[in-house]
Amino acid sequence: MQYVVADPATGRCAIVDPVYDFDEKSGQTSSRTADRLLDFVRERGLTVEWILDTHPHADHFSAAPYLKAKTGAPTAIGEKVRDVQTLWKGYYNWPDFPADGSQWDRLFADGDTFRVGGIEARVMFSPGHTLASVTYVIGNAAFVHDTLFMPDSGTARADFPGGSAKALWRSIQDILALPDETRLFTGHDYQPGGRAPLWESSVAAQKAGNIHLARGRTQEEFVALREARDRTLPMPKLILQSLQINTNGGRLPEPESNGVRYLKIPLDLLKGAAWD
């Protein structure tokens, strides 16, 4: 999910986890979803102050550079993205790839603060799902990316390269240490039982009803549950396409001599993952 968080007093806003469309069947790309964000911002008379990614996503392309070109707002991500870049530059055999985070305008450290208009915001390092995951706490809202889902869906997988169920447990405890009334906005909703889509819970609701935390009350129990579940999950269908885009700040590959852009897919990299 992508979000716009705005300060009504100043009309300034941040865009969180924007999506650039990609159809893996045809290879087509499109700015349609990102343009809907721009329409939303324009209709409400908002000014984009930040374009924030919570982590390098494994299931969609980031629209951060596209939105920066349209709005002039700076892009940002957690500083541990450099570790993700280092990991994946080896997987893609990119010896000259700059794994220094220079693809973003700002790399946030744990505890860094910033503002969205007059609203105070801070960054919490939240690894586990990925090495670089961060949570943005903006006013009374926290954008927890894929660390926590809605309570009836549980928690994020931690089996991507660089992931860790132990680190995920610690990150969840940090999020649940926020005030109970803190509003939590998640990155996905899997609509168990076919219910209507949801995107907002709270710290109190997660403590009371998260299905994975109810069964994994200690770190050891949670890690065992999470790792067992992860072994049954197929990889996201766009992981190998998305990571080469998102480790480069959302930039598409440069066109080759024929004017066409190409993706590079390493075969048999993720051996042992469950098949669909």
Mind listing the pLDDT tens digit for each residue in 125-143?
A: 999 999 999 999 999 999 9
Residue 186 CA to residue 126 CA, distance in Å, equals 13
CA atoms of 147 and 187, how far apart (whole Å): 8
Residue 3's pLDDT is 97
* pLDDT confidence of residue 276: 81
So what's the pLDDT on residue 86?
97
Report residue 262 CA to chain centroid gap. 24
Q: What is 3-243's CATH number, 3.60.15.10, 1.10.10.1100, 3.65.10.10, 1.20.120.530?
A: 3.60.15.10
Amino acid in the structure at residue 27? G
Residues in the chain where the model's pLDDT stays below 70: none
Per-residue pLDDT at 89: 96
CA 51 vs CA 4, 57, 229: distances in Å? 9, 15, 33
Report pLDDT digits (tens) over 186-210.
998 889 999 999 999 999 999 999 9
Q: How far apart are the two ends of the chain, measured CA to CA in Å?
A: 23
The Cα–Cα gap between 206 and 198 comes to: 14
Among candidate residues 88, 100, 98, the one with its CA nearest the CA of residue 266: 88
